[in-house]
Amino acid sequence: MNTAVFICESADLSDGGKGVRFPVTAGGEGATAFVVRYDNQPHAYLNRCAHVPMELDWTPGEFFESSGLYLMCATHGALYEPETGRCAGGPCRGGRLHKIRVFEQDSKVYWEPDDYLRPAIA
């Protein structure tokens, strides 16, 4: 059984607002993931565009495009649905972000490691 890993306080996330980055190990290599709040729910993904494996945020924590409806890759403009990670437009056609299971408990946000994503190696 995987153990949940603390990311941030629930209050650190606002709907359609700035996300919180956190370190992970993806396939044995150091990487970054992020969590955002959309429709009052936390959603987390590996911070890697499905089009070209680059981080999405244009400045740390800035993942939503101006309307606050989609996550956007700052490099090529790929748009993703915040609740599913599915490509909604741009060069990511047919792709999706690697979704990370997250939950809130006692006003804190946690993520659950899977077969590909593990806690960051210290």
pLDDT on residue 97 = 97
Res. 1 pLDDT band, cuts 50 70 90 = very low
**What is the distance between the alpha carbons of residues 71 and 85, in angstroms, rounded to a whole number?**
8
The structure tokens listed for 44 are 């987390």
pLDDT on residue 116 = 93
Task: For residue range 51-100, list pLDDT tens digits in order.
Answer: 888 999 989 999 999 999 999 999 989 999 999 999 999 999 889 999 99
* Cβ-based neighbours of 35, under 8 Å, separated by 6 or more: 7, 8, 13, 19, 20, 22, 42, 43, 44, 100, 102, 109, 111
Task: For residue range 66-80, list pLDDT tens digits in order.
Answer: 999 999 999 989 999
Query: Letter for the amino acid at 81?
Result: E
SS3 11: helix
Query: Letter for the amino acid at 57?
Result: D
Residue 17 DSSP class: S
Q: Are 85 and 72 in contact (CB under 8 A)?
A: no
Res. 43 pLDDT band, cuts 50 70 90 = very high
Record: fold of 5-119: Rieske Iron-sulfur Protein (2.102.10)
**What is the distance between the alpha carbons of residues 98 and 119, in angstroms, rounded to a whole number?**
15
Q: What residues does each domain of the chain span?
A: 5-119
Mean pLDDT (the chain) is: 94
Of 61, 47, 59, 50, nearest to 18 by C-alpha is 61
